[in-house]
Each structure stands twice: as C-alpha cells, then as structure tokens.
C-alpha cells in the first residue's frame, strides 16, 4: 500500500454484529462501494476480503482504480480503517440523601447509558448502600445532591461521603462521581489515609490517583450562537477545501495510519473553511475512568470526578448526563458517534433528523435540527439507554409486557422471558420465520421504552427524516421497518423514512473534526441511508367513515386513492422518485397545521408511501386476542412473506 490510497474501510464493531463497508473515491467524490454485516464472531479480515472479492467480480477496474492493484489480501492489510465499537455495559451505583434526589440522579445515569442500581439514605441503611457500591459488578458510584442541598438530604451527606470513601478504600478501582452539593465532600477522598496492609497484600500496589477536579460547566443554552453567515457560503468554503485537497483522502484517514500523506493538505483546507459549531449539548469525546492512567500519589485510592448537579443543563440533567457518558463510553463509542453523525447530517441536508438505534447493549434516540439565521447552527439532544436493548439482561416485568404488547403470536410470560434471554445469548439465532416476528416485537418494545424515556424529544414536531439504525433492523424487510417506525413515532406530520443499512453512521461519527465529517457526509449523503419511503401521519381522523382522498402526482402519472380511517395504506413509490401528494380530508385534521386540504412533497423508498390513518396515540384493544389480531392485520399488509 502506498500513499495513493483512494479507499478505506468503515467498521462498526457491535456487540452482536460487525458491519464493514468499503468507501472509495469514485468520480471525484467518496462513495459507498460495498457493505456487509456478519455476526461479531466472524473474522473481520475475512469479511473485508469477501467484500473486495465481490467488488472485484463486479467491477475489476474499479478495484484496481481504488487500490492500485487487484491484490485483495494486500488491500485488506493496508487500507485505512475507520472503526467504531459498542461500549460494553457498565453498572453505576447511585447514592443520595433522599429518594427525590436519587430519582433525579438515576434518570441522568440511565440516559447516559449506564445500568443503574440505587439507594438513598432516607430509605436504605448503610449496609444496603455499601453492598451496592462494593459489588464487583459496579464500575462507578455517583453520590449527588442539589447545588444547595435541602434539609432532607443535607443531614445524610456527611455519612454517605464517609461511607463512600471507605468503600473506595476497599475497592481502589472504583470511580467516584460527586455531583452538585456532594462535591463539597471531595476532601474525604483526597485526605491522606493510613495504609491498609491487609489490602495491600490482597490487591498489590495501590492504584492511587490524584483527585480529578473537573469542573464541568453546565450547558445552559440549546443553541450555540455562531457568527452570522449563510450556509451557502459555508458550503462554498467547504467545497473550496475539497477542491484544494484534490483526490486525497480526508485527514482522519491519515490519522488511522494508512500511510496517506496528502491528507494533511485536505485537513488544512477544510480547517480553513472554519465550520460552525454543531451540538449545543457537546458529545463527550474522552472518558475518565478505569482507563485513566493513575499517578503515583499514595493515600488516595479512588478516581474522583466532580460533576454538576442533576438539574444543571438544558434539558435538566443534561450536564450530568454528559459527564456520565464520558465516564462510561469508549472514545470511539458507536452509539455516541451515531448522534454526532446525525448532527452533521442534519447540517449537510439542512433538515431535522431523528434517529432511533436499537442494539444488544442498549439503544439511542437522537434528534438534530438546524436553527438560526441561515440554519447555521444545529441543535441536538440525545439519550442512550441500556434498558433499550432488544434483549435486556434480566428483563423486567415491564419489558416482558412490552414484548407481549407487540407480539402477533400467542406467548406466555415465561416463554417470552426465555426467548429474550436466549436472544441475548445468541443474538443472531433464529433470525427468520417466527424468530423474525419475535425479534420485531422485541425491537418495538425496546423502541417503546426509548420513546417513553425521552419525552423532551417527543415534544418536537415530527422530523423531516426519521432513521432506524442498529443490527436488529438490518435483517428486517424494509417495509416492516417502515411500519415499525410508524407504529412507534406517532406525531402528526410528514416524514421521510430511512435505515442505516450499511451502519456507516457510527464509524463516520468517530471522525473528530466536524468539518471533515461534514465534508464526507456531503459526499456520501446519497449512500449512507437506505430510503424506506415516506410517512404521512395526520391526527384527528374520525373513525368509521371514509377519511377523504389522496392524489399523487409523480412526473407524468397521476393516481388517486380513497383514504380509510384506522388503516395504514401503502402507495407504491420506488426509491429515487419524488412526488407531490394532494390530500383532501373530509374532516379537519392536523398535519402540521389544521385543515382539510394539504399538499406535501414525498420521496420514494423500498416501503413506498405510507399513509397512516390510525389514531394518535395508537389505540389498540387491551384484550390480548383483539390486540394481536389488529397488529397482525397491519403487519400482514406490509409483510406478506411471514406466511410463507
């Protein structure tokens, strides 16, 4: 491999699935050449070699053009790799003086993707609290209080701090986070202590570190103001940078050690574009925790991190969530990287985007929206939930209820629990037939938990682009994924549906430099997402009568259908086609605004155009039989192959 590299691999190492893509410089822009997803036990090099072999069989000239030769093993070994990976689940123990405070802290920790156990001094005795923190399953402890602690928690804080300091002496590997008013007890952790001979024998050299006094400034504003300039000008600058870079790969490719030397020029040029900031709630880039290399000071036995209180930030708790995310996640965590990618894509496409990602170790919901003059800034918010796994560890009764609520087959609770547990053990097992239907129910239940846990995103209007990501959706037929999105995201509006089929959002989000990421996103915008279709979701359609009519103008052809309340109607509209739809409702409905007649632009996809005339929120019978029948009827219309 030489510095003539014009291609690289993008890899997403998930807990269950490893996805690999080949991206190459074709016709002066970066394109997605090929992609594949395999169970995580499969050798990555073999997968990449298989991809390149297929590229070589399809277009040998392209392979030579990209790599300089047709030597596939050499390409696999030398092409740069852009990789993201899922952070394994970690558990945090939340301690607080009062139940009220514990709930706030737990919410922030849950949204940061931690598995959470908690206790409060007003409800639990110190033995119970110390048991939570001493457990070897616990990776960190969060002790928090209000910025000015109230009487209900103030009296407990000294004892809690002493207890936690004692626990930290027993478990020097523990990371301690002191949030809000609890930070006043930092001295308990930094005071020199007597040695513990017994534990020195037991644990070897003391892993002592100085206290990390990170004062994290609360994020107060959702919109980061930038110099007023139009997006057009910015894009011009970016284009100029790209032109200056010529055919060279972007800087991140060079950082990956692929031996690309020209990339520095590209980086300089892009930096000259001076892109505006994106996320109002900054996404953590680095983690402080067990990976932190301790110093040599003796006497302090734990990693101590100071954090804002559970109410700081916008929305409340965002600042603490940010600190806890940084503590939990790898720097190249794929879930957070997806959120970064969505923010960049939102800027590039100039539209609001919402993504829901469901994986084995949790889920992500993120929303990004361009705002301000010239849509120059992007507002983002996101939440990662370990509980939003499609096969959660030790599924709760609520999780079982969720799966049963979306299941179209008769299952008892024990059977559901066993199947969920088996799904966790073998995530790729039984991916067809009944297994696929069960996975869909499990994915919908996980998605439902994620939606319930992010009410601050649900108050926004329907996004212009709704994206499904994660391994569980990758194997599903596109029309089924489209229906799942329609089932779960029930806000009136019109939205384009897409799927991160190649799982590129994670690897692209790992790129540190916002300008480079945007530049690559602009190149790959047509390739990153697989179009599923469009969703028209009006609210206020009266049941039991004809709802009106729809007229679709698609280039030279016109078609008209009658709309039926309570149904999901599908209009065939293939990918790459755009159309204008005129809707004429019998009664006034809400579709953005309230009215009878609407004219909207829609885009095609593998699932076509979905007109969802069901209730908002979705009303289905509470009786299991009726519920299953209704779900089955809707699903069968989109997934006839399930009866094969």
Partner 1 sequence: MSAVQPVTAMAIPPELARVAGRRVLVFSPTIHFRLGPGDRALVVPGDAVVPGMPIAERTPDAELVDVGRLERTERVRPVDPPAWEKPASDESVAALRQEDRVGSTESQLAVPAGMDVKTGYVPVVMQQDRRRQPFPGKWWVGGGERRGKPARDKQTLRLGGTLLFETHGRWRAAAGERHTIVESPIAGVVREARNCVDVTIAVTGAALTGAIAAGEPSRGYLDVPRLTDGELWANALDVGRTGAVVVAGSRISAQAISRARAMSIRGLIAGSVGQGELRDLEASSLRQKASLVPSVPFGLIALDGYGRRPIATPILALLAALAGLEVAIVTDPPLLVFDVAEVPLPEFPADWVRVRSGQHAGREGRWLESAGLYRFRGGIHLDAAVVRFVDETDTIVIPVSDLERFIF
Query: Using CB under 8 A, which of the segments 33-41, 339-347, 449-457, 583-591 binds partner 1?
Result: 33-41
Q: Is 185 left (phi over 0), alpha (psi -120 to 50) or beta?
A: alpha
Q: Which residue lies nearer to partner 1 by CB, 173 or 262?
A: 173
Query: Using CB under 8 A, which of the segments 6-14, 79-87, 199-207, 488-496 binds partner 1?
Result: 199-207
Query: Using CB under 8 A, which of the segments 100-108, 197-205, 218-226, 521-529 binds partner 1?
Result: 197-205
Of 288, 301, 286, 291, the residue nearest 209 (C-alpha): 301
Is position 429 an interface residue for partner 1 (rule: CB under 8 A)? yes
CA distance 508 to 531: 19
* CB burial of residue 151 (10 Å; 0-12, 13-18, 19+): exposed
x/- mask, partner 1, residues 477-496, rule CB under 8 A, reads: x-------------------
Is position 475 an interface residue for partner 1 (rule: CB under 8 A)? yes
Cα–Cα–Cα angle for 614, 620, 621, nearest 5°? 145
Q: Which residue lies nearer to partner 1 by CB, 38 or 630?
A: 38
Residue 286 Cα distances to 179, 328, 332, 454, angstroms: 19, 10, 9, 24
- For the record, the structure tokens of 548 come out as 């009106």
Length in residues, the chain: 644
Q: Which residue lies nearer to partner 1 by CB, 13 or 376?
A: 13
Q: Which of 432, 452, 512, 526 binds partner 1 (CB under 8 A)?
A: 432
Q: Which of 26, 38, 184, 616 binds partner 1 (CB under 8 A)?
A: 38
Query: Using CB under 8 A, which of the segments 193-201, 259-267, 507-515, 559-567 binds partner 1?
Result: 193-201
Residue 546 Cα distances to 543, 561, 566, 586, 614, angstroms: 8, 11, 10, 8, 13
Query: Using CB under 8 A, which of the segments 429-437, 443-451, 481-489, 518-526 binds partner 1?
Result: 429-437
CB of 300 to partner 1, least distance (A): 15
Q: Are strands 568-571 and 609-612 parallel, antiparallel or unpaired?
A: antiparallel
CB of 162 to partner 1, least distance (A): 5
Is position 200 an interface residue for partner 1 (rule: CB under 8 A)? yes
Q: Which residue lies nearer to partner 1 by CB, 68 or 477?
A: 477
Say if CB 500 and CB 469 are below 8 A apart: yes
Please give the DSSP secondary-structure letter assigned to residue 316.
Answer: T
Q: Which of 204, 205, 544, 555 binds partner 1 (CB under 8 A)?
A: 204
**What's the start-to-end Cα distance of the chain, in Å?**
48
Q: Which of 433, 461, 574, 576 binds partner 1 (CB under 8 A)?
A: 433
**Three-class SS string for 82-133?**
EEEECCCCCEEEEEECCHHHHHHHHHHHHHECCEEEEEECCCCCHHHHHHHH
Q: Which residue lies nearer to partner 1 by CB, 131 or 490?
A: 131
Of 382, 348, 376, 336, the residue nearest 223 (C-alpha): 376
Backbone Cα Rg of the chain: 26
* CB burial of residue 190 (10 Å; 0-12, 13-18, 19+): middle
* Interface of this chain with partner 1, residues 262 to 301, rule: CB under 8 A: none
CB of 596 to partner 1, least distance (A): 38
Is position 414 an interface residue for partner 1 (rule: CB under 8 A)? yes
x/- mask, partner 1, residues 570-609, rule CB under 8 A, reads: ----------------------------------------
x/- mask, partner 1, residues 123-152, rule CB under 8 A, reads: --xxx--xx--xxx----------------
Beta bridge partners of 216: none
Q: Are strands 353-358 and 303-307 parallel, antiparallel or unpaired?
A: unpaired
Q: Which of 1, 26, 29, 39 binds partner 1 (CB under 8 A)?
A: 39
Is position 644 an interface residue for partner 1 (rule: CB under 8 A)? yes
Look-up: residue for tokens 């293939």? 574
CB of 589 to partner 1, least distance (A): 33
Helix (H), strand (E) at residue 348: helix 334-349
Is position 401 an interface residue for partner 1 (rule: CB under 8 A)? no
CB of 347 to partner 1, least distance (A): 34
Q: Which of 78, 196, 549, 582 binds partner 1 (CB under 8 A)?
A: 196
Beta bridge partners of 142: 94, 177
CB of 244 to partner 1, least distance (A): 42
CB of 476 to partner 1, least distance (A): 8
- Positions in the binding site for partner 1 (CB under 8 A): 38-39, 41-43, 46, 125-127, 130-131, 134-136, 158-159, 162-163, 165-167, 169-171, 194-204, 414, 417-419, 421-422, 425-426, 428-437, 475-477, 639, 641-642, 644
């Amino acid at each position: 491999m030489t510095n003539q590299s014009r291609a690289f691999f993008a890899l997403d190492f998930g807990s269950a699935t490893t996805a690999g893509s080949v991206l190459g410089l074709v016709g002066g822009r970066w394109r997605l050449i090929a992609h594949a997803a395999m169970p995580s036990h499969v050798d990555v090099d073999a997968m990449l070699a298989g991809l390149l072999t297929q590229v070589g069989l399809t277009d040998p000239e392209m392979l030579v053009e990209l790599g300089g030769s047709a030597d596939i093993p050499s390409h696999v070994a030398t092409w740069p790799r852009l990789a993201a990976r899922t952070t394994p689940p970690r558990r945090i123990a939340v301690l607080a003086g009062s139940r009220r405070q514990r709930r706030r802290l737990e919410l922030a920790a849950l949204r940061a993707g931690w598995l959470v156990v908690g206790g409060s001094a007003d409800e639990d005795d110190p033995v119970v609290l110390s048991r939570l923190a001493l457990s070897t399953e616990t990776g960190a402890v969060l002790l928090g209080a209000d910025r000015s602690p109230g009487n209900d928690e103030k009296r407990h804080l000294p004892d809690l701090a002493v207890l936690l300091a004692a626990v930290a002496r027993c478990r020097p590997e523990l990371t301690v986070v002191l949030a809000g008013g609890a930070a006043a007890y930092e001295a308990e952790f930094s005071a020199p202590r007597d040695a513990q001979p017994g534990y020195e024998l037991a644990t070897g050299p003391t892993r002592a570190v100085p206290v990390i006094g990170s004062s994290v400034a609360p994020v107060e504003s959702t919109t980061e103001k930038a110099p007023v300039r139009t997006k057009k000008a910015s894009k011009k600058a970016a284009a100029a940078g790209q032109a200056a870079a010529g055919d060279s790969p972007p800087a991140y490719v060079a950082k990956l050690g692929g031996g690309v030397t020209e990339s520095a020029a590209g980086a300089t040029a892009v930096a000259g574009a001076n892109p505006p900031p994106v996320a109002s709630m900054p996404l953590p880039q680095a983690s402080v925790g067990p990976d932190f290399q301790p110093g040599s000071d003796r006497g302090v036995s734990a990693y101590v991190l100071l954090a804002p209180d559970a109410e700081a930030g916008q929305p409340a708790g965002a600042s603490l969530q940010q600190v806890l995310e940084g503590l939990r996640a790898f720097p190249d965590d794929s879930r957070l990287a997806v959120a970064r990618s969505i923010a960049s894509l939102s800027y590039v496409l100039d539209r609001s985007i919402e993504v829901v990602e469901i994986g084995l170790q949790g889920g992500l919901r993120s929303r990004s929206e361009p705002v301000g003059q010239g849509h120059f800034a992007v507002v983002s918010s996101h939440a990662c939930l370990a509980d939003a796994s499609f096969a959660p560890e030790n599924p709760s009764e609520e999780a079982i209820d969720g799966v049963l609520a979306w299941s179209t087959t008769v299952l008892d609770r024990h059977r559901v629990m066993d199947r969920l547990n088996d799904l966790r053990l073998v995530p790729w097992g039984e991916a067809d037939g009944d297994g696929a239907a069960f996975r869909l129910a499990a994915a919908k239940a996980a998605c439902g938990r994620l939606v319930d846990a992010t009410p601050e995103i649900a108050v926004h209007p329907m996004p212009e682009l709704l994206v499904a990501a994660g391994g569980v959706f990758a194997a599903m037929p596109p029309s089924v994924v489209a229906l799942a999105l329609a089932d779960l995201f029930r806000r009136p509006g019109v939205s384009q549906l897409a799927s991160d089929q190649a799982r590129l959002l994670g690897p692209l989000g790992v790129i540190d430099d916002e300008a480079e990421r945007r530049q690559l996103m602009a190149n790959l915008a047509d390739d990153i997402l697989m179009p599923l279709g469009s969703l028209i979701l009006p609210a206020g359609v009266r049941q039991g009568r004809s709802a009106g009519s729809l007229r679709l103008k698609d280039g030279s052809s016109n078609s008209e259908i009658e709309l039926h309340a309570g149904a999901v109607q599908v209009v065939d509209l293939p990918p790459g086609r755009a159309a204008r739809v005129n809707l004429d409702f019998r009664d006034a409905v809400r579709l953005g605004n309230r009215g009878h007649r609407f004219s909207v632009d829609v885009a095609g996809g593998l699932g076509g155009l979905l007109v969802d005339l069901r209730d908002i929120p979705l009303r289905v019978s509470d009786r299991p039989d009726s519920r299953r029948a209704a779900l089955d009827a809707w699903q069968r219309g989109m997934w006839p192959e399930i009866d094969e």
